[in-house]
Structure 1
Amino acid sequence: MIPPNYSDICKPVNDLFSKDYPFGALKLEVKTTTANGVTFTVNGAQDIKSGSIISELKGKYTDKVNGLTYTESWNTANLVTGQVEVANKFAKGLKVELSGSAALSSR
């Protein structure tokens, strides 16, 4: 029997303190899926002491026929990131990932 990964053992406890009972911040997470399979996630957090708000909008589309996944996100720091993943297309068990980001200016 293969011993479990230690990060897997601690995951439920870490999720309890980071997702279920956030300390020092107010958090909101909303997820929705469209009819054609695009998933949108909005995350937001407000620091109680400073009042600053950090948020992110993420969209994810999966083309199961071709094994392609495209993810794009945009946050309040004007950072746009994109990621394309291809799994099991070139060889069984091989996952190729291409990611990039751009910081948008706020002029």
Structure 2
Amino acid sequence: MSFLEETLEGQQSADVKGNHGDRPEVIDDDTLTSAIALKDKGVPVPGIARKLEIKTGENAGKCPSVVSVHQALAEAEEDTITAADLPQRPKPARVLRP
């Protein structure tokens, strides 16, 4: 059996088990809810990062990075923006010439 065949077989068996090779999420839904609540209270993002804790993975028990918190808050904000929230495009002016 070649290396490629072994690799593909290992990937297929991992897929059956539900392992897709993704990294564990640093900020899960509960942590994101806490981060949003802290942001709404006016806590700066570095302060939010220090108050949160990673729950899974090799960094479990540590604080997430400030960048991770920024990204999670930005993604959450993007998800809440709807088309009604976006500014309307101005209508073009028609110039009438005699």
TM-score normalised by length of structure 1: 0.19
Structure having the higher strand fraction is 1
TM-score normalised by length of structure 2: 0.20
> Looking at CA atoms only, which structure, 1 or 2, has the larger radius of gyration?
2
Structure having the higher helix fraction is 2
| Higher RCO (CA < 8 A, seq sep 6+) | 2
